[in-house]
Each structure stands twice: as structure tokens, then as C-alpha cells.
Structure 1
Amino acid sequence: MSEPLLQAVDLQCERDERILFRDLSFSILPGTVARVEGPNGSGKTTLLRMLAGLNDAWSGNLLWCGKSRSAQREEFLRNTLYLGHRPGIKPLLTPMENLRALTAGRRPLPDPVLRQALDGTGLTGFQDVPCRNLSAGQQRRVALARLLIADEPLWLLDEVFTAIDASGVSAIEQLLQQRAAEGGAVVVTTHHDLRLPGMQRIVLGGGSTDEC
């Protein structure tokens, strides 16, 4: 069996003097799509931010490729793509300018590659329009264009289907499956009824995981 990319051991998180989850353990293997599930307020976004290194208010252990994540934080961050539930784009910039900014710190890519990624998310003709003039769904597609050019093995995606129409949902599902087929892994939160073959479920509340 392959070594887990990411392993969580006995995680516990408390917010506003309320325990969101405790004794939560799971492993994310290469080739996995894992969905974090639970009712509103159960800590799904909090867990994803913990995994991404954006929230330190927790206890337990997180391992990256079998070693403590904290001991190899820079390597972990280089190999992880996190998309939050908000698009995370600058409204005064165009989709092209936003995508340049989002990729500049990791792996700068030539403009034709960026334009192709935006085309792939249905933004043909809108690449040079300020994002403040785009719809919520189009702004979300700007952020999702990163998935078409990302080479990080681990994707952490929070509410990735928000404001996306049916055709966009299908395209994203295919991207998640492709990432897994290439040996990467995806951890996703969503209210969309995501059901992919072999999908792992991380259920908050009981600290359990299983497969569909």
C-alpha cells in the first residue's frame, strides 16, 4: 500500500468554548478524493484550514509523507493547493492579471497557458474584463482556473462548487477524478451531492471515515 500523503491523528479543535470535533483520525492516500461531511457549524471549513496550515488552534498530529508536517512546513506548502470558499481574487484586476498573481509565487507560466486555463473554465472573451464586472459564478471560475494548471499533489478545496452551473459542476468532478488518477489527492468540502467512485468520506461528529 502507498504511504499516505497526509495523515491526521487524534485531531481536536475547539471554537468559542465549544468542541467542534475530537479524536479525528484519517489518512489521505495518493489517488484519493475525500469529502469532508457534517452539518453546518461542525467545522468543515475549520478542518480544511487546519490541514492547509492556516489555523493553529487545534491539537493532535498531522503528518506529511510520514513525517511531522510542522517539521517540513515549506515542503508541505509547496506541494499543496488550497482554494477557500471565497474566490480570493482582486476585483479591480482582470482574470488574466489575477491568474498571473495567483501563480507568480509558485510557478510563473506564460500568458498563452493562462489564457488556455481561463478558456477551459468558460471565460473565453472575459480574460481582460475587470473581475468586479463579472458575475459571482464567473469570479469563481477565475479561481478554479488554477486547477487546470496546478501540479501540486494535494488539493484542499472548500465549497468548490459554489455559484457554478451544471456544466461547470461536471467539469470540476472530472478534474477531481483526473487529479486522483494522476496519483494526487483531493480533500473537498461541498454541499453539492458529490458521489465519485471510491470516494473517501470524512465525517465530522463521529471522527470516522469510509468509502462510497
Structure 2
Amino acid sequence: MSQAVVVKGAWVMAWLGRVTVGAAAVAVGGGVAAGCLGLVSGALAPDLGVGRRTRRLGPRRVDIAAPREVVFDVIAGPYLGRATRATREKVRVLERGRDMVLAAHFTPLAGGRLTATTVETVRFTRPERVDFRLVRGPVAAVAESILLTGDGSGTRLVYAGELGTDGWAPGERWGQAVARRWEDTVAASLSVIKREAERRARHA
């Protein structure tokens, strides 16, 4: 469910294009390129504590033809269930408590040559809620929730969140690029949840 991101960093690269050529430019350019790569991959956590800007993620609503207990199990499976090989390629649980895990999420970039990594806490309130909070990733802060309501045979899933960046206007522009990709990733994950929950409900 959660969400490693791919971002272009256009504002950084535009700034880089104006750097004077020469040895100094090469050195600075290399540093900026490394910083861009660190942001995209999640290796550099840009939590500066100044110039914080926030924006909403979602909300997204998905109606699922399956009981909410089934939907909850589909969401929680990669974190609380037995890890499969396919699961381990996308999610690795680093620490596990009774109702919360610390997990790393992996997304391949650049045709598999790079991997974006985010680390998040995931808290479970069965059967109606799952909360995600970013610990390390391409922006300073992300908090998300999935709420499940239903009448027994069907479930409405509501996703909502907030993304925060530091660095005033430049950070805000970076956050806009991240948020677009982040929400695309969430939408794809919700589609997978819907398909799998409905498949399980049909075969129950």
C-alpha cells in the first residue's frame, strides 16, 4: 500500500543548467545530482525543520464487493501475515509489535537499475482502520489513513493523507512532483486491494 515515488526534480535540474561551466560547476553539479538521486531513491531524508508546507493526498473512495474483514486482511497481509517471495520484493518488515510494524517499501526505478525506498510505521485497528506514517523518504512528512466501513457484504474504502515538505517554495514544488507520483502509486495499490478482496470473497 504505501508508496515509494519517482520524481523528476525539474526545478533542481533547471537550477543546475544555469551553473557556470568549469571545475567548480562540475563539483557543484555532481553534488546536486547526488542530492537528486538521494531524494528520488529515499536515501536522503529532507527533514530540515524549516519552511514547512503541507498539501492533501486524496481523498480516494473505492467500493469493494467484499466484507470489510476480508479487505482488512488483504491490506494487512504483507505486514502481519507470512511473507512470500513476491511480498519480500516489495515490503520488508523491520520491526513488529502487536498492532504496529515498521516496514520498508521498495519500488524499482529506471527500468530496475535503481530502487526507491521508503520506511513507514503502519498501525492496524481491526477491522476498520490502517494508518501509515513516513519515517524516511523523499519528503519531510507523510501521514495517511485507510478507513473501512461496510454492511457485511460490501465495503467502502476511503484513503486520505497529508504530505509535508520543508524549504518554503522550492520544497513545495518538489512536493507537488512527489505527490502526483505518490497518488498514482496509491491508486494502483487500491486497485490491487479491490481485485484481491473481491476474488477472496467470491471463493469464500
Question: TM-score normalized by structure 2?
Answer: 0.24
The structure in which a higher percent of residues are helix is 2
Question: TM-score normalized by structure 1?
Answer: 0.24
